[in-house]
Amino acid sequence: MPKTFAPGERYKKNYDERDIEQAVEAIKKGLSKKQACKEYGIPRATLQSRLSNKFKKTGHGPPPILTQDEEELLKIDNIKENENEDFMKLYQIWKNFDEGGKQKHKNEDRESIKTNENASLENKSLNLSNICDNNIILDQTTRVVDINDQIPSYAGNEVTLEKSKQNEVVLPKVVFEEEAITVNRGLSNFILYPKIPERKGKRNTTERLPFVLTSSGWKHIQRDKEERKIKEEQEKEERKALRINKKQEREELLKTKRISVIKKEVW
């Protein structure tokens, strides 16, 4: 029958692992289990499980291969073999070797880096903070002109809008398509229409927005979209009016048939 406790009272062990070990040692020396339970305050079932051959003390990690006695013997052998060794001396040799290897690698890395004396570390002409997929990377042969100069329409993306500076290292320029002087291209070069999959059995289809690079292209798309919407509404009203006309014609036809039937019955 299980033990009963008062409301709010909890079971608390009055013994620890050290008491169990002492009780087990006392039983091995000849003390009875009943007397050991009374002296150390340990339940009889706990002592019996500890004395069983199936009991294994759990711990962190996988179970050890060696037994407790074998581990103790191995520790004693290691102490006897290494009692005359100077461990601090070995540790100092290892530490000096490790620090020397690290310093050697640092020197090799420093020697392998070659810097250009004419390179400017404060050159702000190369702006890589806003690079995206739509940028154009120009090579070192790009012609740099003044922003006020007259540039022909065939220049394309080969001219940057930056003033040239003296004693400045020529580096690749990053030019955005919106800021570059480009030829008047067609709108199809700036708009990418993704293909809308055909869905059968559904009336409402999702519409994907095109990717445009200019505001004028976006306005053109919105205008086409509004015109398409107005046209669809007009077609819808026409279909509705056609259905109403057909319904009225059908009702009139039924009325005429009924009148003819009534006249025949009268005659």
Residue 58 scores a pLDDT above 90 = no
**How does the average pLDDT of the chain come out, rounded?**
68
Over residues 168-195, the mean pLDDT reads: 51
Q: What is the pTM of this model?
A: 0.24
Over residues 169-183, the mean pLDDT reads: 46
Report the alpha-carbon angle 30-34-35, nearest 5. 65
Residue 141 scores a pLDDT above 50 = no
Residue 139 scores a pLDDT above 50 = no
pLDDT at 213: 58
CA-to-CA distance for 118 and 107, rounded, in angstroms? 24
pLDDT at 81: 60
- Output the furthest CA–CA distance in the chain (Å, rounded): 142
Residue 184 scores a pLDDT above 80 = no
pLDDT at 222: 83
Q: How far is CA 205 from CA 41, 201, 243, in A?
A: 78, 10, 25
